[in-house]
Structures are given as C-alpha cells and as structure tokens.
Structure 1
Amino acid sequence: MKQKGKQGREDLLEQLKSNLNIMGHKMSILIQGADGQVYLKEHLSAKGHQPYDDQTTIHIASGCKWIAMTVIMKLVELGLLSLDTKVIDIYPEFKNSNPNLLLQHLMTHTSGYVLADEWIFDLDISLQESVIGIAQGGKYPASKVCFQGGTKVGYSDIGMQIAGGMAEKVTGKSFHQLFDEFLAQPLGMKNAQFTAFDGEKGQNIAIADGFLVRMIDYGNFL
C-alpha cells in the first residue's frame, strides 16, 4: 500500500514537472489534511530556473478573495454587519447609482459592477476614496453599473472592494488591521499581507486582487 502511495506521489510530481512551462517554469505544491498534517510539499522548477522555497512570498491575485471575504464574515459573526446590510446605510453615495445593493451582493458577484476600473487600479488613493469614487466618481468617472445589484451574476472585483470599505467603516479599523486581528495572528500567517492592485505597493488596498503570501501561510489559512 505504501509503495502504491509512493508511486502515485511520483506520478503526480512528474505530471506537474511536465507542465511547468505554463506556470512560469516553477511552482510549489502543498497537500495537507484538515488537521494540518503535511502529506506533500515540493518546490519544483525547470532546468535553469531558481525554485521557490519556504520563505518565498508571491502575489496570488484572486486567490485572496475568500481570505478577504472570511474577514467580512467574521464581522457578520460579530454582528457588526449582516449579509442583508444595505450599502446605502453605510455609503449614502450609492443611492443614485445602485440603491438596492446588499452586502451579500458584493460578496457573490451579483453587485452589477464591471470587473475593475481606475478606482481599483489607482495605487495612491485610500480604500475609502476608492469606494466613494466607485459610487459617485471624481478624478475618474463613477464605476459602470451593468445591472442593479442582486438581479444577475457578473464577476466583479469592485463589489468586494466596496465590502472591504464597509468593513473599515463599521469598525473604525483599516482592512490591514482586521486581517491581522482575525486571521494573520491567530493562524500564524506571518508573512501574509494585503496590497494594492496586482501585488503593487500603494495605499489603495485591492480587496479582491492584492495579496502577498508564502505557501505555508496559505496552507495555515486552509
């Protein structure tokens, strides 16, 4: 039985190695149980490419969405927000553009907004400025509403950006602080941090796309 398991492991690694070209010629793999026991941890790379190691921190883009939404759900658990919280109750600025938005719409890609725009990409504004800009515009036009919240499905980082702003508003804390308090410290995610869009440095935290993390930190979350 052990021999069969070892062979399966080797077959998996060989299959991954044969496809490294579509992963930037290197990748890491971690397989662990619900109890945290590690069954497989490997850093793979093609010839001539430096592999990742246990301390490597990478940008995981949309892989941070459920981390961010776990922070939001912690606030729901604490009673500071509800899935039925109306966005206009926290941001009246949305009353003329998307008045029926609920928190649950922001979290489930039913907000009605386009994927992303300059209010997400701008590195130098704050998260609060980003959300207000999404609602009513400013240095850029207001974010495009393709349909009213809760009526259709449309993949959108903007919805989650608004949710992150709501979290800051109801707690008086930054999203960085909330992540650190609810997840990073309790789970030992020592090197994990939210960033601006696409892993860049900046004030405008990208709730649905900006996150740097080590593989083992991500494993701690899982």
Structure 2
Amino acid sequence: MTKQDLDGLRRLVSDACRVLAGRGLADGILGHISLRIDERTLLVRCRGPHERGLLYTQPDDIRLVDLDGATAALGELDGWAVPNELPLHTEILRTRPDVTCVVHAHPPAVVAADLSGLGIRPVVGAFDIPGTRLAARGVPVYPRGVLIRDRRLAAEMVAALGDRDAVVLRGHGLTSTGAGVPEAVLRALSVDAIARISLDVVKAGGTLTDLAEQDMCELPDRRLLQP
C-alpha cells in the first residue's frame, strides 16, 4: 500500500469520527473507529499531544498499529496513545474475517433504551431499511458496563456479538461492524435512530410493535438500493 493510499484511508476514518460526533454518538474524546489494513495491522483513532476531541479529528490522529497495540511503523505512535479499549477492536478483527471496520461509540439514547428494557427491534420500516434488517437479525447486549481494555473482556463482548452486525454495551454504548467504514458507521447510526424512536414512542404512551412480516418482505434488499 502506498503512502498516498494510506493517507486517503486516514482521512476516511477521521471524517467518520467527525460524523459520529456530529450526530451525537460520541461526545468529547470518547469513542473511536478502526480499519483493518492487513492481517496484522489496523488504523485507529488515537489521542494526540493536543487532543481536540472526536468532532475535530484530523487524519494525523489516525495511527497505524498492530493487533497487539504496538508501533507498526517507525514513529507512528510518537506523541499519540492508542485507545484504552483497543482490544475491543482487535479482538473483533482477529475473530471476524468478514469485518474490516469497527466503530465504538457512546450514544446516550442507546444506553437509555437498553437500561429501560427496550431492545433494538424492527419497529420501523422504509424509514430505515438497512436499520430495520439489522434489527430483525437481532442486536445482542453485552451485559457488563466495563471498560473493555483487555483481551479477556473483549472476548466476552465478541462472544455476545456473535455473527451479528452490532452489539449494545450495557451502561456504556455500542460497537458496530462493517465490511468498510461507511457500513460500520451507518449501522451505528441506525441503532441510535431506532433507540431514539423507541424511547419517543414509549414516552408518548405508545407501544412498540415489530414490523409485520408481510411488510418486511416488501422491503427491497439494501444492496439493490442506489445511493
């Protein structure tokens, strides 16, 4: 991979971090995104010497590390620190070859919905077709409100995730996955949107009802949707 290619991927990840913060999924310095480069290395949002917060992430904040969090290229971590929860990313990348990008964020609505006993269910239809299909597959919950900072805890979270696209972290936030950065970010946004809608429905005195099967069958395959 050329330096130009790598620089383009750094910008892709940094822009995605800004989207997460801009949409309210990651306040302050919390949250991070990683992108697999090869079998041993990944790009990940790190904290720099002049930390600006996720909303102001720059490509220079996206550093190349290996699966053990060590420097993957001379000087890559000089002045930067990897996320405390780097194992959250690396354990997924070790065990899920279908995943290229991992997003970790702290959306308040997702936390509140889970603590209220509201799961991420397919309660919407054409409002968010990919989100509906994601919810229909099931969004599991990792039931420990801990900082996932070692491989033991990360393995527990990965076991809860299974082969799904996202997992809610109780009292903490969410982790979403994707075959690329856009897919992983959009999945996080979908989980957040469904959590917000679910909370609003319950606050309004309504009852959450899953989309009817006949309506689910009418929804087109998201891969056929044109941008």
In which range does the TM-score fall when normalised by the shorter chain? under 0.3
Structure with the bigger RCO (C-alpha within 8 Å, sep 6+) is 1
- TM score, norm. by length of structure 1: 0.27
- TM score, norm. by length of structure 2: 0.26
